[in-house]
Amino acid sequence: MVSRLALICTLAVVLYHPRALAQLRTAKNCCFPKQWEGFQGGIGGVNAGGQGQAVQIVTKIAFDAVGRRVFTYTNSTTAAGMSSTKLIRDFNTNTMYVIDVLKRICQKTKPTALFNNGCVPDAAKQVFDMTIGAGSETLQAKIYTMRLQQASTLLNITLSVTEKQCVPVGEYWVGSVNNVKLVMSMGYFGITPGIKDPSVFNPPAFCKQNITGDAAFHPVLNYRILNL
């Protein structure tokens, strides 16, 4: 339903993962830092069934390429109200928990997206370099474009990252997911290295319900595109 539209990310619930089993972080393009936390803010619009409305999102992210797990906590606001959703995903077991924080409802599912260690896909094209800021306060960034195309998904994505460490800076999405047309512009902020609180990867005790189904995922950090 449109009232529950949110741009949200996925995660993994892994307390221990041997380094010997971790995927190699090799890619034609750059890879994000192995472990980091931060926030993503965005604004855009969606159109479902001929009804359009604005969407605002703020997401807390914990990304762990060493433990192969991702956590997000998204507050999404539309004209219909606000939704708060946590996602936790274990990429070793391909298990994802979708948690409605306000209603205390949890769904356990097994989507098909694979973990790619947070590397910009080889198919992405670097289109140009960019300088953010002016004078003595500047940041050098790389701009990539890519396309996410699945059975019910067609998104053109522009991604910007810092030149030296491949830290995410911003994203722009345009296309459709499950017959929902969308345009979103997002920026990252407050990024710090490491994972301060690993307990965010633990699902709550009431996560017992099992469901099945496919979802569209972002090709870099495996964002679940829309919470439909």
What is the model's pTM? 0.81
Kindly tell me the burial class for residue 4, based on how many C-beta atoms sit within 10 Å of its own C-beta (0-12, 13-18, 19 or more).
middle
Where residue 75 sits, what CATH number does that domain have? 2.50.20.10
Q: Which residue has the higher pLDDT, 108 or 36?
A: 36
Give the separation between CA 144 and CA 121, rounded to whole angstroms. 10
Say if residue 213's pLDDT is above 70: no
Q: At 22, is the pLDDT very low, low, confident or very high (cuts 50, 70, 90)?
A: very low
Query: Per-residue confidence at 186, pLDDT binned at 50, 70, 90?
Result: very high
Asked whether the predicted pLDDT for residue 10 surpasses 90, the reply is: no
3-class DSSP string for 98-117: EEECCCCEEEEECCCCCCCC
The residues with which 83 forms a beta bridge, in sequence order, are 76
* pLDDT band at residue 156 using 50, 70 and 90 as cut-offs: very high
Domains: count for the chain: 1
Q: Which long-range contacts (CB under 8 A, 24 or more apart) does 155-158 make?
A: 155/216, 155/225, 157/218, 157/219
* Mean pLDDT, residues 56-66: 93
pLDDT at 31: 93
Q: What average pLDDT does the segment 119-141 reach? A: 93
Q: Domain span at residue 218? A: 2-224
Q: Which residue has the higher pLDDT, 37 or 212?
A: 37
Q: Average pLDDT for residues 120-144, to the nearest whole number?
A: 94
